[in-house]
Structures are given as C-alpha cells and as structure tokens.
Structure 1
C-alpha cells in the first residue's frame, strides 16, 4: 500500500530533521508538536539508538517495505531484543480479530501497553500508510552528572494520535519511562 501525499511529505521532511535539527522558530510541518519526556539511565545512548532506528525506518519508508526477517537483520540487535517474541499465526489471527472489535479509544488504551509489543506489531505502526507521528527534534536535559532524561518532539497529523509505537521506540532502546508533556 502506498502512503498518501501528506504522509510521504512528512516522511521526507522527517528524513531531513533526522540529519539536522530544525531551526528554533521553525513551524511544525504537521498540525502541531507533541512532546514527551524520556527517562533512562543513559540519555545519550538511548537517544542515539532511537535516532539510528528511525533513520533506518525512514529510509525504507519510500521503498518496498522489508519483510520481518529483513528488518531483524537491519535494525540494531539491542533494539530488536527489546520486544516480546512474535506470535504464532493462530495467536496473530485472534489478536487481529480482537483488535478490529475495539473502538478507537480502546485501541489508544491497548496500544499504550508496552509489554505486549512484538517487533512486527511495532513495525506495522511505522509503515508509511499508518504513520501518525514524525520525528521533529530531541533535546538532552542539561543536568550536571545526571544524563537520565531528554525531551523528544514529534509532529503529528492529528491532534490526538496513538503514541504507543513512539513510546515503545524509546523503551526498546533502553528507556524505562516515556511520559507525554500533557501528562506532567
């Protein structure tokens, strides 16, 4: 399936922002900016790994989407091992039936349960036609001798979006908590 024009535009803009942070006064390329505080033991390490993962994902967002096996070989091992084991075909079918029966609000809640994520389920939310958020910028907090937090900013296509895949990105990279600025 092909991403619509707006998603494709956001993917290309994200590609540039992953290389170089936007100017301080740059206007969001989506409808706005959502901010999350990421807590971890080594913010520099977690942020670098997350950015590496997103560069790989973004590069394949304008090409043929790879198979799960190919993703496993391309993505950093440290990231891949942060996911639950893949489901059997029968379990996947049952999960899909349960998912399709949920309302949008129930899907928001369900997607926030980080312990249930497999790599394939995470990747499904990063497929170009499913993307709801795009990397904007990240800032390490300047706290002397305490490299344990950073701020991630994403631009979104809607004012409400499913942030579970965003949170799982950082948790699979080693973060222990990802909290929306709205929840602080």
Structure 2
C-alpha cells in the first residue's frame, strides 16, 4: 500500500510540529482541541505522548503492512511506560463507563496505520501540573478519536476532554 499525498503532507507537518513542540492552534474545520487531565504530571504525560508519536511518525517513512502489524517490533521500539499504560485500570466510575472497552497496544497500532489514521499532532502546551491542551489536525471531520484518546491515557492521563464537551 502506498501512503496517499494528503496523509504524507500532514505527516510531515506533524513531524515539524512534534520536533518544534508547537503551541496548540488550528484553523476552524481542520482540527480540534482537547484538554488532557493528569494526576500532577502533565509535563511527563505530554512528553511521553509526544515521544511515542515521534517514533510512530518516522515509521511511516519505510511503511510496510507486515512490519506495521508486527507487535513484537512495536514493543521493541516504543517506551515501556507507554506499552504498560494499556494495562492500567481506571478508578473513576465515569471513566470506566466512557472507556469500558479497554484498548490494547495492538488495537492502537492497528488504528495508527495510514489507512485508518485521520488525526495528527498540531501542538500542545502545559496549563498547570494537572492539565495540558492538545490540538489535532484532521483529515476528516468528524473523525474517530479513540486512538488519540488512548495515546494520552496510555501515556498516563486520567481523562481526555473534547472541546465540544466543555
């Protein structure tokens, strides 16, 4: 499978945003903001999520379906803390209801495949020790945000709040 031109354009913009740690902004209709709630570790959660996406972003350069679907490959290159984040249990009842069907690392990797991925890191900034703002750029609107939410939850966030829910 070949990565389409629009996806690749956004991928390069994401790479630039990740490397520069851009401030969260987007143009109306091209993205969405999220508030990421943390447990007094917003710097660490944002950094881990960013580090994971840098790794994933560079894997698209030599994309092959066989390599993408190789879970052992991903386990060898992704941070252990992120991988272990898929096994965490949520103690808040509302989160249990919201994220009832826990994701696994292989679910997440599957939806980061170029054929399924429709969002990109546009920018992020820490508000305080418990919160940071994340902006995404999207290929399609509306877009499925499950893989985005689990990027942050597996990185240590306790809740991902869509701007539309505020």
Q: How does 1:125-144 map to 2 (within 5 A)?
A: 125-141=111-127, 143=128
Q: Where does the alignment leave 5 or more consecutive residues of structure 2 unmatched?
A: 88-97
Task: Summarize the Cα distance change of 1:47–1:32 in structure 2 as closer, same or farther, 3 Å threshold.
Answer: same
> Residue in 1 aligned with 2:150?
168
Write out the 4+ residue segments of structure 1 that deviate beyond 6 Å after TM superposition.
none
> Residue in 2 aligned with 1:90?
none
* Alignment equivalent of 1:32, drawn from 20, 30, 37: 30
Task: Summarize the Cα distance change of 1:115–1:82 in structure 2 as closer, same or farther, 3 Å threshold.
Answer: farther
> Residue in 1 aligned with 2:45?
46
Is 2:80 the counterpart of 1:80? no
Deviation at 1:8, TM superposition (A): 1.1
TM-superposition CA deviations, 1:85-134 (whole Å, max 9, x none): xxxxxxxxxxxxxxxxxxxxxxxxxxx73642111110111112221100
TM-superposition CA deviations, 1:30-62 (whole Å, max 9, x none): 951200000012000000000000000000012
Name the TM-score, length of structure 2 as normaliser.
0.83
Asked if 2 retains the 8 angstrom alpha-carbon contact of 1:133 and 1:156, the reply is yes
Q: Where does the alignment leave 5 or more consecutive residues of structure 1 unmatched?
A: 85-111
Q: How does 1:9-158 map to 2 (within 5 A)?
A: 9-22=9-22, 28=27, 31-41=29-39, 42-65=41-64, 66=67, 67-84=70-87, 113=99, 115-141=101-127, 143=128, 147-158=129-140
Asked if 2 retains the 8 angstrom alpha-carbon contact of 1:8 and 1:128, the reply is no
Name the TM-score, length of structure 1 as normaliser.
0.75
Asked if 2 retains the 8 angstrom alpha-carbon contact of 1:113 and 1:164, the reply is no
- Pairwise CA RMSD: 2.0
Q: Distance in 1 between matches of 2:156 and 2:100?
A: 13
Deviation at 1:23, TM superposition (A): 7.2
Q: Distance in 2 between matches of 1:119 and 1:76?
A: 12
Aligned length: 151
> Residue in 1 aligned with 2:91?
none
Q: Distance in 1 between matches of 2:153 and 2:141?
A: 23
